[in-house]
Structure 1
């Protein structure tokens, strides 16, 4: 008998609200008319604790952003370009060592999703998110006492492990505690908090000694750990999957702040969803057993590929170095802070713009904007040695990177991950997320590592023009192959992907 048929025949009244399995049942004819819809979703409840929990959870995204932005102010110091007398290393970094220091973070992030994927269902979202902060704590403690470049390499790999794990676990946790009405807004917190973390590194790193900066960086994950451990519960989905229905109901009551009946009804829906997912848990091979899933994987891998091929991690890791090479009249550290501020402000716009415009249109706009921005930045470096031209275009580097960060932050920054959550059925999301995240960070490692070699071969302007060309290809990819997923149900999206034409 189906769940809906159960409600037609019975008035279900839980004996104990700590269990969703125990009921008293009465014949509906003896009770008379029922004046409520058990699936009524009009009760809004309170959302203060839900937003508080999402904010605390996204401190892990903030720490991830700090680790991404860390190299921008630190590499000039370790290279002896800034404050050489305070360099903790016996010798300045070579260009090759600079490339490795930047690229080892995405290399570590390749393995973060794999490790997180192995534990997230076994121990739950909450414990997995807590564990993901430990590599950050260890990494910054190592950096505080490091006087050897190899220890800095270890530090960057550890940051990458934490980053990859956060990108795997955090979207699951937030997506499961959120309601349908605010899932999009809460989901955008990840990109926003990460941008805030990057800005934090840009604002603090250039103006304090390196050891002090590393001490400051270790504070956020240490603060996060006890607050999240003590005050924030695991998601009800995760608790039910581990047969803790009493804990699931208690957690859902805190998150929803609704009546017992409303919480109980939602808990039943969650239980059915979890049981269905557990009964048909997806494997990697299942991704290739239907046309729709193959297309979903192609779309997800394509979007994260062009996300990295836009050159975003080069901007994140080497922003201050790029501005120094540009020789602008605006100090490099100030230019970097301005760009970081714009990126955070753009992150606030994303939820509002997406709901009104749709993801596909924004991705197209994002690809065009990033392509033009990179082309203009390449043009500046191409004519950099012409004093007459650069006198009139001294503002071009900062304007180019501001435009690039705006168009990236509203489009190719957050939306590939949002689309990933919509094009796969629930039982395939975990394996698809792991594959996509690992591939994304592996590509980021390759691009970051070879950037110096490519720049030596074709010039820095050639590298930026190459990124611009990839943005043009990204535009064609989205225009021809990526369907609109906004304001569509998962069933409608699946039907589009299974169809003959899906744009």
Structure 2
């Protein structure tokens, strides 16, 4: 408020042409703006992330319904092999999606590519409402995967380009928060409604996203790349809550950056043309790979069945809801601390915590497999271990690999690099999800969870030795650091 009064007083006494120039300089250098605007856009854009969460958590309740003759829409029960495909077709679709979404984001814009992801989600839930056979469910899950691939590729680009330097880390964490809200949503309603009602409830979210996000602007970088400078300034004014003069300096910097990136438009081969690009790809792909190798998709897809198999003392559906609520709480913490503690420290904490919690979960299943009498007195351990796992995952390795991925790539290679990194992520997501049941049968549930424990330890070492800290750095400063420049 005092800033506005000061500005009005300044305007009242400055009337000459030179003073008008001073006023413009005043606005350019002193106008504070309104950061809540970019947070509003971030929240609305992440309704698409909530839809991703719906799809990731969908199988937890749907599996038990399809096994129940009174609730299943199918005439026959799916086999174990068919269930593995129902779970793993989503990562397979998400593997393909980025190669469509990346180029499309450069052609029609980040906004319209994100909006188009909802077509896959809406069509998939309509198919599930009408389903009467397993192949139809396969198609629906593959469509959901394509939508997930679109969102995961373009959402990081959109947020990275609308956010100011001081808000980029917090806004980048919103994707994971949206995903876990979607997971909690299906955990809460899935076990307690019919199969068809379950699909209708899921269908609401992508429809609301389309209606609200349609009103939001595209990124200034996209508008400038298409020589639509007036729209770029309008977008910046909306996002920053400033006058045209107030955003002029940022507009000039973005325009220069975009001009350089268009001049040096990168191909996939350019990803390997210099040390900075290679290091960015290693960091992004490595973090996203370890995100999947932590076993998170196994926990999300089979959460209810894990509790059932463990013979938990708590009702499996209730335990699953508790896990979902913890995920939301943990993901909500990240935007509050990421700019204070930095990405790297939180990632190290996350990897260490996942290692310990998965190790304990594996120990429980080992004791249970050995028929050890102590199992009866530690029925609480699977709940505590999974709650601890999802907490540390959602604080660190859930949101931050996507946030870092949106920061480390230079503009000229960002769309190609994001597509490759996201695809690598979902290749491992497909492998883990498709063959977890077979792996558990071969080496036991305890062996599978101990394998995830070892991979989380490797993730800790990778983060410690390879990942750079991006807290408080501009996108150009990040590129300088990756390339070894001061």
- Please give the TM-score of this superposition, normalised by the length of structure 2: 0.91
1:487/1:254 Cα in 2 relative to 1: closer, same or farther (>3 Å)?
closer
1:336/1:33 Cα in 2 relative to 1: closer, same or farther (>3 Å)?
closer
1:133 aligns with 2:118: yes
Aligned position for 1:54 = 42
Aligned position for 1:295 = 279
Deviation digits for residues 81-127 of structure 1, max 9, x if unmatched?
xxx31211111121111111110000000111111012111111111
Aligned position for 2:332 = 348
Aligned position for 1:43 = 31
Aligned residue pairs total 469
Q: Which of 286, 300, 320 lines up with 2:304 in the alignment?
A: 320
Q: CA RMSD in A?
A: 2.2
Deviation digits for residues 26-48 of structure 1, max 9, x if unmatched?
xx9x9999476479444222344
1:64 aligns with 2:49: no
1:74 aligns with 2:62: yes
Q: Distance in 2 between matches of 1:499 and 1:327?
A: 53
Q: Would you say the 8 A contact 2:169–2:471 is kept in 1?
A: no
1:477 aligns with 2:462: yes
1:45 is paired with a residue whose SS is coil
Greater displacement, 386-395 / 400-409: 386-395
Q: Distance in 2 between matches of 1:379 and 1:170?
A: 38
1:192 is paired with a residue whose SS is helix
Where do 5+ consecutive residues of structure 2 fail to align? 1-16
Aligned position for 1:329 = 313
Q: Which of 428, 452, 458 lines up with 1:443 in the alignment?
A: 428
Q: Distance in 2 between matches of 1:66 and 1:196?
A: 8
1:383 is paired with a residue whose SS is helix
1:185 aligns with 2:170: yes
Greater displacement, 63-72 / 344-353: 344-353
Aligned position for 2:364 = 380
Q: Distance in 1 between matches of 2:52 and 2:158?
A: 16
Aligned position for 2:269 = 285
Aligned pairs for 1:165-184 (under 5 A) are: 165-184=150-169
Q: Which of 218, 221, 228 lines up with 1:234 in the alignment?
A: 218
1:41/1:445 Cα in 2 relative to 1: closer, same or farther (>3 Å)?
farther
Q: Would you say the 8 A contact 1:79–1:94 is kept in 2?
A: no
1:252 aligns with 2:231: no
Shift of 1:246: 2.8
Q: Would you say the 8 A contact 2:66–2:77 is kept in 1?
A: yes
Deviation digits for residues 406-429 of structure 1, max 9, x if unmatched?
111111111112222333222222
- Please give the TM-score of this superposition, normalised by the length of structure 1: 0.88
1:196 aligns with 2:181: yes
* Structure with the bigger percentage of helix: 2
Deviation digits for residues 35-78 of structure 1, max 9, x if unmatched?
76479444222344433322221110111111111011111111
Aligned position for 1:4 = none
1:408 aligns with 2:396: no
Q: Distance in 2 between matches of 1:371 and 1:39?
A: 51
Shift of 1:234: 1.8
1:120 aligns with 2:115: no
Q: Distance in 1 between matches of 2:192 and 2:290?
A: 34
Q: Distance in 2 between matches of 1:344 and 1:32?
A: 50
Aligned pairs for 1:484-503 (under 5 A) are: 484-499=469-484
Q: Distance in 2 between matches of 1:485 and 1:269?
A: 19
Where do 5+ consecutive residues of structure 1 fail to align? 1-27
Q: Would you say the 8 A contact 2:271–2:277 is kept in 1?
A: yes
Q: Distance in 1 between matches of 2:235 and 2:285?
A: 34
1:96/1:137 Cα in 2 relative to 1: closer, same or farther (>3 Å)?
same
Aligned position for 2:375 = 390
Q: Would you say the 8 A contact 2:131–2:137 is kept in 1?
A: yes
Q: Would you say the 8 A contact 2:27–2:243 is kept in 1?
A: no
Q: Distance in 2 between matches of 1:55 and 1:481?
A: 31
Shift of 1:463: 0.6
Aligned position for 1:105 = 90
1:384 is paired with a residue whose SS is helix
Name the structure, 1 or 2, with higher relative contact order (CA <8 Å, separation 6+): 2
